[in-house]
Amino acid sequence: MLRNLLLTVLAVCLPSYSYSESITPYFGTTGNAASVGNTWSMDNVLPTPPGLDINGVFYKYTPQKETEADMKVHIGNENANGVGYLWRETDDWSGAQGGIEIRKVIGIANVPRELWGDGSIEVEGEGTVEDATVIYSYKVDPCYDPQFSPSCPGYQLQLPDTETVDIDLYDATADDAVIIATAETDDDIYEDEEELEQDEESEEEKEMRLEKALAAVDELALFNDAFAQNLLLDALNNAIQMNAYYAAQLRGGEYKETVVLVDKELPENKKGLRNGLAQQILHEEMISMQYNK
Amino acid sequence: MLKKAITIFAMSLFPLSAYAVDVPIEGTVQSRCVITTDTPGVYGNPNAYTLTTTPADGGVKPIVRFDVTLADAYYAQITTPTSFDTSPSLGDTVTWTGSTSVSAVSDATNMADYETNKVTFGQTTQYDLTATGSTWFTSSSTATYGGSKAFPGGTYTATVEAVCIAQ
Residue A98 near residue A67, CB atoms below 8 Å: yes
How far is it, in rounded angstroms, from Cα B41 to Cα B157?
A: 10
B127 CB neighbours in chain A (<8 A) are none
CA pair distance A285, A277, nearest whole angstrom: 12
ipTM surpasses cut 0.85:
no
For B10-24, what is each residue's pLDDT tens digit?
444 445 557 888 898
DSSP string, A24-63: S-EEEE---GGGG-SEE-GGGTS-S-SSEEEEEEEEEEEE
Q: Answer yes or no: is B15 within a domain.
A: no
**Percent of chain B, pLDDT > 70?**
90
Predicted confidence band of residue B102 (pLDDT cuts 50, 70, 90) = very high
Residue A20 pLDDT: 53
Range of the domain at B157: 31-166
Residue of B nearest to A91 (CA): B108
What is the number of CB-based contacts under 8 A between chain A and chain B?
43
Residue A93: its chain B contacts at CB < 8 A? 108, 112
- SS3 assignment, position A123: strand
Nearest to A74 by CA among A92, A58, A57: A92
pLDDT means over runs of 10, chain A (293 residues): 50 45 86 92 88 92 91 92 89 89 90 91 93 93 85 83 76 82 70 71 85 84 84 85 74 78 76 87 90 72
Cβ-Cβ contacts under 8 Å, B136 against chain A: 101, 103
Residue pLDDT, tens place only, A59-101: 999 999 998 899 999 999 999 888 889 999 999 998 888 899 9
Chain A nearest-CA distance from B47, in A, is 30
Output the pLDDT for position A21: 67
| Cβ within 8 Å, pair A92-B116 | no
Position B4 confidence tier, pLDDT thresholds 50, 70, 90: very low
Q: CA of A99: which chain B residue's CA is closest?
A: B103
Question: Which contiguous run of DSSP H or E holds residue B73?
Answer: none
Beta carbons of B108 and A96 less than 8 Å apart: yes
pLDDT of residue B76 exceeding 60: yes
Residue A190: per-residue pLDDT: 61
Q: Which of A73-82, A229-238, B30-39, B130-139 has the lowest mean pLDDT?
A: A229-238
* Domain count of the fold of chain B: 1
What digits encode the pLDDT tens for the residues B148-167?
889 999 999 999 999 999 98
pLDDT at A264: 72
Position A191 scores a pLDDT of 60
Residue B116 and residue A97: Cβ atoms within 8 Å? yes
In chain B, DSSP assigns E strands to 33-39, 44-47, 50-52, 63-68, 74-79, 94-105, 119-121, 124-129, 133-145, 161-166
Q: Which of A34-48, A222-236, B110-124, B131-145 has the lowest mean pLDDT?
A: A222-236
Across B60-76, average pLDDT: 94
Nearest CA of chain B to the CA of A86: how many Å?
A: 20
Res B41: pLDDT: 96
Please give the pLDDT value at position A16.
Answer: 44
Closest CA–CA distance from residue A133 to any residue of chain B (Å): 14
State whether A93 and B105 contact (CB < 8 Å).
Answer: no
User: Can you list the domains of chain A with their CATH numbers?
Assistant: 26-148 (2.60.120)
Question: Which of A91, A97, A105 is the closest to B115 by Cβ?
Answer: A97
The chain A residues in contact with chain B (CB within 8 A) are 60, 63, 73, 91-93, 95-97, 100-105
Instruction: With respect to residue B43, please indicate whether it lies within any of the assigned structural domains.
Output: yes
| Chain A residues within an 8 Å CB radius of B107 | 91, 102, 104
Q: Contact A103/B109, CB-based, under 8 Å?
A: no
Strand partners, A105: A58
In this prediction, residue A172 carries a pLDDT of 79
CATH code for the domain of B127: 2.60.40
Query: Is B91 a member of any domain?
Result: yes
Question: In this structure, is residue B36 part of a structural domain?
Answer: yes
Supply φ then ψ for residue A147, to 5 degrees: -80, 0
CA distance A240 to B6: 167
Has residue B4 been placed in a domain? no
Q: pLDDT value at position A14?
A: 44
* pTM for the whole structure: 0.58
Position B16 in a domain: no
